[in-house]
Amino acid sequence: MKAIQDLYPDDFSHCYGCGSRNTHGHQLKSFVEGSEVVARFTPSSHHMSVPGFVYGGLLASLVDCHAMATAASSEITDNVAPRFVTAVLHVEYLKPTPLGSELEIRGHVTERSARKAIVEMTVTVAGTVTVRANAVAVRMPKTMQS
Amino acid sequence: MKAIQDLYPDDFSHCYGCGSRNTHGHQLKSFVEGSEVVARFTPSSHHMSVPGFVYGGLLASLVDCHAMATAASSEITDNVAPRFVTAVLHVEYLKPTPLGSELEIRGHVTERSARKAIVEMTVTVAGTVTVRANAVAVRMPKTMQS
C-alpha cells in the first residue's frame, strides 16, 4: 500500500513536511488504516524544544501534513490524491512529548464539503496522547497551481 | 541589543526553532521594538509547501517560537529571559505566503497571569499579512527542567 503523499501529483510533491521529492524535508508518510489515517514518525535528536522533549513546531508540522493527507484520503482517484492546503491549524500540547520514541499520528475527517474538510488528530507516544489538533483543509486554490 | 532567545539559559537554548545552540535549527531571533516583539526570517528554498510558497509547518514553527519569546520579553531579569512552552497554538493561513522574501513576524501579549500569557501574532511578507496566529504560552513546568 502506498502512502497518501506518494499519490500526490509530481508537481506538488515538494512539501518540506511530506513531499517525496523534498530531500531536505521530513517525508511524512500517512496510510489509511480502517476508518482512520495513521502516520508514524521518529524525530531526530536535534528536533528538540528543550533537552528530552520534542519541538512543538515539528509536532505542528507533522499534524499539518497529516491533516492534508487525511482530507485527501477519501478522494483518491486513479491512484492520484488531490492536494489540500491548510486554512486553519489548531494544536493543543496536552503534555510534553518525550524525544527518542516513535510518534503515532492518527487523523479522521469530522466534516466535509465540496471545498473543504475538517480533520481531528492525536499524537501518541508510548501509549500516551500528548497532542490534540485539528485543521481546516481546503482544496488547493488555482493561484497556487500556476 | 540581544535577541530574546539569546537570553535564554544555556541549558534551554537547544530549541530547533530558535535555540542559539541548535546548529541544525532555524535560530529565529526576536527583538523588542516598542510595544511589539519582531522577528525577521527568510525561508530557504526547500522550505516550500508547493513550488513558490512557504511551508505552513515552518510558519507554525516560527510563530510558535516567536510567541514564547514575546511572552518572555517583559520578564527579562539580569539579562536572563524565562523559558515558556506552548500550551496552545492556533494558526490561520489567510493567503498563501510566497517564498523568496523576508518574513516579518510581529507579536504582542494580550493577556497575562503569573503562569501564562496569550500572544497574538501576524506574519507579513512584502507588506501583506498572510498569517494570523495566537498562542497560549506557559512557564516551563518543572517536569521539563530535570
- Complex ipTM value: 0.96
pLDDT tens profile B31-85 = 999 999 999 999 999 999 999 999 999 999 999 999 999 999 999 999 999 999 9
How far from the centroid of its chain's Cα atoms is residue B31's Cα?
10
pLDDT at B146 over 80: no
Position B145 scores a pLDDT of 83
pLDDT at B142: 87
Q: What band does A35 get if pLDDT is binned at 50, 70 and 90?
A: very high
Residues of A with CB below 8 A from B23's CB?
46
* Cβ distance of B144 and A52 shorter than 8 Å: yes
8 Å CB contact between B71 and B10: no
Contacts of A121-126 with C-beta under 8 Å, sequence gap 24+, read: A121/A63, A121/A66, A121/A67, A121/A70, A123/A59, A123/A62, A123/A63, A123/A97, A125/A97, A125/A98, A125/A101, A126/A98, A126/A101
Residue A142: the pLDDT is 87
Would you call A39 an interface residue with chain B, using a CB distance cutoff of 8 Å? Answer: no
pLDDT band at A102 (very low <50, low <70, confident <90, very high): very high
Query: Helices B56-72 and A56-73 sit at what angle, rounded to 10 degrees?
Result: 150
Quote the mean pLDDT of chain B.
Answer: 96
Q: What is the mean pLDDT of chain A?
A: 96
Query: The pTM is what?
Result: 0.97
User: What's the confidence (pLDDT) of residue A145?
Assistant: 84
pLDDT number for residue B99: 97
The amino acid occupying position A84 is: F
Chain A contact for B138 (CB, 8 A cutoff): no
Q: What is the 3-state secondary structure (H, E, C) of chain A?
A: CCCHHHHCCHHHCCCCCCCCCCCCCCCCCEEEECCEEEEEECCCCCCECCCCEECHHHHHHHHHHHHHHHHHHCCCECCECCCEEEEEEEEEECCCCECCCCEEEEEEEEEECCCEEEEEEEEEECCEEEEEEEEEEEECCHHHCC
User: Which residues, in sequence order, are CB contacts of B97 under 8 Å at separation 6+?
Assistant: B53, B54, B59, B103, B123, B125, B130, B131
d(CA A85, CA A68): 6
Cβ distance B88 to A88 less than 8 Å, yes or no, reads no
Q: Sorting pLDDT into bands at 50, 70 and 90, what band is A144?
A: confident
Judged against a pLDDT cut of 80, whether residue B23 lies above it is answered with: yes
Are A140 and B52 a contacting pair at CB < 8 A? no
User: What angle (nearest 5°) sits at the alpha carbon of residue B134, between those of residues B133 and B140?
Assistant: 130
Q: Which pLDDT tens digit goes with each residue over A40-99?
A: 999 999 999 999 999 999 999 999 999 999 999 999 999 999 999 999 999 999 999 999
Question: Does B9 have pLDDT greater than 90?
Answer: yes
Q: What is the per-residue pLDDT for A143?
A: 85
